[in-house]
A and B are shown apart, each in its own frame.
Chain A
Amino acid sequence: MKTPSKTTRMHTLACRMSAEAAAIERLCQVTRIRGFRIEQMQVQTSDDGLEISMTLSGERSIDMLRSQLEKLHTVTHLRPAAEQGPLKQTA
């Protein structure tokens, strides 16, 4: 198991996405390719699709990962889980 380096940080993202085929795989793949590791993940289906909470570790900027995840057609809302207030709609 890889030992986290000094610069490794933990982040928690809340994501709402449509429940298309491979939607979760796509989310996981982008997360992995952009340099983050999924430490914990919870998925729940709802009338609007999927509600996902992910705890991630990584050394890179979380903003870069967010901007890549927001590009996914299946992702409708994305925000840091700790952030207060309503979910921010993606472009």
Chain B
Amino acid sequence: MNAAQHILDTLRRHRIDTVFGYPGGCIMPLYDALVADQAVGGVEHVLCRHEQACALAADGYARASGKVGVCIATSGPGATNLITGVANAHRDSIPMLVITGQVPSSLIGTDAFQETDVLGMTLGIVKHSYLVTAADEIPGVMEEALSLATSGRPGPVWIDIPKDVLLADVNSFIDSAAATDGESPADPVLITHAIDLLRTARQPLLYSGGGISLANAEGAFRRFASASRLPNVVTLKGIGNTGRGHPDHLGMLGMHGSKATNMAVDSCDLLLVIGARLDDRATGAVNTFAPNARLIHIDADAAELGKLCPADLSIRGDLNAILQALTDQFEEQPLAIEPWRKQCRTWHRTHGFQAAVNEDPHAPISGPEFIRQLSSITPRDAIVACDVGQHQMWVAQYFEFDHPRNHLSSSGLGTMGFGLPAAIGAQFAYPDRPVVNVTGDGSFMMNAQELATIRRHKLPIKLIIMDNQCLGMVRQQQELFYGNRESQINLDDNPDFLALARAFDIPSLQITRSDQVRRGIQTILAYDGPMLLHVAIDRTENVWPIVKPGASNRDMLDATHGQSNKTQLSHKENVA
């Protein structure tokens, strides 16, 4: 068995059934091995039409399923094209295995055809990486790479393999992954300290992020939220943590969070942060973030504790174990914080996200109202893959998610072009569930070639392009923070998206008025196969609220106050 065959054998033994890739010269031995592997029912290889899409599809597959995503490419441009997708996974801690071919060992360092220093070029965007120098290293490297990608704080691991190594025989074998040390149980002293802090607080708030689903701790998190009765807010990656309709859930915080959530953070006297890294998009200016609060920070990654905000108490470890230990303390005696809960619910009712409904049937389509209707019609188990821009924030604000893995959104890197390949990955993970890609006209064009992948595999993905003929989020910030000077954001020469869809045998539909929204959504959801809905929205519509980058969350701007009138939040709100 050569190294290429061993790699496929390892994937099969780890029950990895789908990989996303694109062939080329130096990775050809692996593609040759794939022929025999597929003849015996081996891994399914999905040929995307650009390596970036391979990485983003593997990312979407991993986010939706919780399994490791695998992407494959050749040396040189194949590897460099992967970089954006791998960086995207790294910033959001997505478990991923990246396999690239490299020029033959004897040619490394000679500027050979399609040679790049992949290892050096990718150090900053992976959890770990390898340059394999001998075929006998492959079994150990593959096992270690899969273990690293999925353990602790997950992330992408990159294996770069010279062509001659892929062709060489493997003479050493490892039957199964090496045993890794389990997480130590939650420290009872720290848990007791956390309980004491929570019990003495009058206005404690729970703040959760993507770490909850990365730890597969949704159940433990919901039990804790229920037992403690803490009002709670989420980051972009934490959307769905509480499920739909949780009575104490206030929504997303931060730059595009609701006024209610930012008021709660501003007013709380204790902030319990779990599985979140206090990103600047969530905190705004750190020196004014939660100014009256003590901070308890719980995370799987020790390096995140105290990194951006000093904590009064830090606990590192497995979130399941820690949440269970906390829940045990509150099940018999929940927190006595009824006035605070009542205040938070009032804020949520009066200052939560509210899409304005236009009664005029001929009115232009409003982005928030479109997403609200999409949320109300789409099946509860649907997976929604967003791109990056205004539509992404409207989905975060107005779509009600029942589970964090149903909401795929590029958070840390903010990668335009993420949504379409991510939707493809999600559909391979769950062939029978509805998958919707909500995108903008700018983002869609960044990976539009993947319509070919949808056609080839007859994936029933629903594509929704919210088209405002410009880079809406950039336009909005130019309007608000750059004296309304528009610079290179005009996309009014977009292609005919309906004709483009037709070129890939994908039927399409266009809507332009508010009275067409419901029927348009129903039509694409009911269609048996892929379908594109082109939604014409107002070029001038903004995402509200917004916090100026680098400013305090207390200085939110909203639609009614406009640029010059900052909404000052009172952090001394009277709690009856």
- Determine which of A25, A63, A71 lies in contact with B123 in the assembled complex, contact meaning CB atoms within 8 Å: A25
Q: Mark A58-91, 1 if CB is under 8 A from B, else 0.
A: 0000011001101111100000000000000001
Chain B binding site: helix, strand, loop or mixed by DSSP?
mixed
Q: Mark B110-144, 1 if CB is under 8 A from A, else 0.
A: 00000000011001100111110100000000000
B303 contacts the other chain (CB 8 A) = yes
- Give A27-63 interface residues, CB cut-off 8 Å to B: 29, 33, 63
**Chain B contact residue count (CB 8 A cutoff):** 17
CB distance from A86 to the nearest CB of B (A): 20
- Determine which of B131, B301, B302, B305 lies in contact with A22 in the assembled complex, contact meaning CB atoms within 8 Å: B131
Chain B residues contacting A91 (CB-CB under 8 Å) are 302
Give the docked Cα–Cα distance between A64 and B131 (Å): 28
Is the pair A67, B119 in contact by a Cβ cutoff of 8 Å? no
Is the pair B124, A33 in contact by a Cβ cutoff of 8 Å? yes
Is the pair A68, B131 in contact by a Cβ cutoff of 8 Å? no
Chain B residues contacting A70 (CB-CB under 8 Å) are 302-303
Chain B residues contacting A29 (CB-CB under 8 Å) are 123-124
Is the pair A21, B130 in contact by a Cβ cutoff of 8 Å? yes
Given contacts A67-B302, A67-B305, A68-B303, 5 further A-B contacts (CB under 8 A): A21-B131, A63-B306, A70-B302, A71-B301, A71-B303
Nearest-CB residue, chain A, relative to B128: A73
Residue of A25, A64, A73, A91 most packed against chain B (CB within 10 A)? A73
Chain A residues contacting B305 (CB-CB under 8 Å) are 67
Nearest-CB residue, chain A, relative to B127: A73
Q: Which residues of A contact B (CB under 8 A)?
A: 20-22, 25-26, 29, 33, 63-64, 67-68, 70-74, 91
Chain B residues contacting A63 (CB-CB under 8 Å) are 306
Chain A residues contacting B123 (CB-CB under 8 Å) are 22, 25-26, 29
- Give B293-318 interface residues, CB cut-off 8 Å to A: 301-303, 305-307
Is the pair A20, B130 in contact by a Cβ cutoff of 8 Å? yes
B148 contacts the other chain (CB 8 A) = yes
Whether A22 contacts B124 in the complex (CB less than 8 A), given A68-B303, A73-B148, A91-B302, comes out as no
Nearest-CB residue, chain B, relative to A64: B307
Is the pair B120, A67 in contact by a Cβ cutoff of 8 Å? no
Residue of B123, B129, B305, B306 most packed against chain A (CB within 10 A)? B123
Is the pair A22, B120 in contact by a Cβ cutoff of 8 Å? yes
Chain B residues contacting A20 (CB-CB under 8 Å) are 130
Chain B residues contacting A74 (CB-CB under 8 Å) are 128
Nearest-CB residue, chain A, relative to B316: A91
Chain B residues contacting A21 (CB-CB under 8 Å) are 119, 130-131, 133
Chain B residues contacting A64 (CB-CB under 8 Å) are 303, 306-307
CB distance from A66 to the nearest CB of B (A): 9
Chain B residues contacting A68 (CB-CB under 8 Å) are 303
Give the docked Cα–Cα distance between A70 and B303 (Å): 9
Give the docked Cα–Cα distance between A11 and B193 (Å): 33
